Amino acid sequence: MLNKKLTLSIILFIFSFINYSLSASSSDATPIRNIVIWHGLGDSCCFPFSMGKIKDIIQNQYPGVYVKSIEIGSSIDEDVYNSWFKNVNEQIDMACEMIKADTNLTNGFNAVGFSQGSLFLRAFVERCNDPPVHNLISIGGPQNGVFGAPRCATTNGTFCNVARNLLELGAYDEYVQNNLVPAEYWQDPLQYSKFLEKSIFLADINNMKDVKNQTYKDNLLSLNKFALTLFLNDTIVIPRESEHFGWYEEGQAKNIIPMEKTQLYQEDWIGIQQLDNEGKLIFLESPGNHLQFTEQWFIENIIPLLNE
């Protein structure tokens, strides 16, 4: 009788061990943190061919992971419109509230931004970061802004033409600054003083004004990783080097200097020099034009960053 009880105990122990091992293996295959993604200009949270596709790729690689795709507005159409014409600071405030209210994100998350969505997620980290971002991934994000109007052949023609017309009025006109999204990260290297004075978004989150916001820097330094993707043949983000924090030499719009030679980096206004020195700044490249990456490239380069 004792031997039977001993044998049964051994069998139960073995089954318990196998069940634990399988459970541990399964948890290793799933990211500890859930994920937030934010689309770019003229896109939406939920188009099946863009952010919907990205969400599918992530969830195919990590079954069961929660993916929050930021939607600014109450419909896809409104989300697209707002990506062009809703004040960016208001968008960041809305995102801060929606992310904090999402109980699936309470323990923190990894964030992936696409084009201007990358810039907006960085603004979330600097201004809110509640709950905190672990890894921040920028895919084609204009981190130092743009100095070139959007190409209307590649996006919504009506909205884009309105945007170009507004930019012709002047990116730093008060109405344009407050109502045209690309104007809010427009950095004119030939009018730097005017940019600092009039910019309501980019000059602030890049800590370019005389009074620096230490919280912005502290929050960015809390990141585990900050990954930056540059598209080698990008004709949408001008200059494309902005995707790696590069920019024009001061006072002209021809010669481009790398991140390490910018004042933003050398004086470490937002902490990217320290992140770089600590090995937390990651530089990625993708062939092709803006956001023209393959599923395989995304799986090989981005998916591993979501499992840290």
**280 has a pLDDT exceeding 60:** yes
Q: Which CATH number belongs to the domain containing residue 116 in this structure? A: 3.40.50.1820
Asked if residues 96 and 68 have their Cβ atoms less than 8 Å apart, the reply is: no
Classify residue 284: in a domain, yes or no.
yes
Classify residue 5: in a domain, yes or no.
no
Classify residue 110: in a domain, yes or no.
yes
Known active-site residue 290: yes
Classify residue 68: in a domain, yes or no.
yes
Q: What is the pLDDT of residues 213-254, one digit of tens each?
A: 999 999 999 999 999 999 999 999 999 999 999 999 988 989
Q: What is the pLDDT of residues 241-251, one digit of tens each?
A: 999 999 999 88
Classify residue 200: in a domain, yes or no.
no
Residues listed for the chain:
308
Question: Phi and psi dihedrals of 221, rounded to 5?
Answer: -70, -15
Residues 6 or more apart whose Cβ sits within 8 Å of residue 24: none
Known active-site residue 173: no
CA 251 to CA 263: how far, in whole Å? 13
Q: Which helix (H) or strand (E) holds 276?
A: helix 272-277
Classify residue 217: in a domain, yes or no.
yes
Listed residue (267, 270, 130, 263) closest to 213, CA to CA: 270
**275 has a pLDDT exceeding 60:** yes
The token pair that represents 218 in the structure block: 């502290």
* DSSP β-ladder status, 281-286 and 34-38: unpaired
Q: Tell me which of 190 and 155 has the higher pLDDT.
A: 190
Classify residue 193: in a domain, yes or no.
no
Known active-site residue 115: yes
The token pair that represents 69 in the structure block: 């795709």
The catalytic position among 50, 83, 115, 242 is 115
Domain limits for position 78: 33-146+213-248+256-307
Classify residue 104: in a domain, yes or no.
yes
Total domains, the chain: 1
pLDDT at 150 (0 to 100): 63
The catalytic position among 234, 244, 268, 276 is 234
Reported pTM: 0.87
Q: What is the pLDDT of residues 55-86, one digit of tens each?
A: 999 999 999 999 999 999 999 999 999 999 99
* DSSP β-ladder status, 281-286 and 225-231: parallel
Residue 150, preceding bond cis, omega within 30 degrees?
no
Q: What is the pLDDT of residues 100-159, one digit of tens each?
A: 999 999 999 999 999 999 999 999 999 999 999 999 999 999 999 999 776 665 555 677
Listed residue (134, 238, 156) closest to 189, CA to CA: 238
Q: What is the pLDDT of residues 7-59, one digit of tens each?
A: 444 434 434 433 434 444 443 445 579 999 999 999 999 999 999 999 999 99
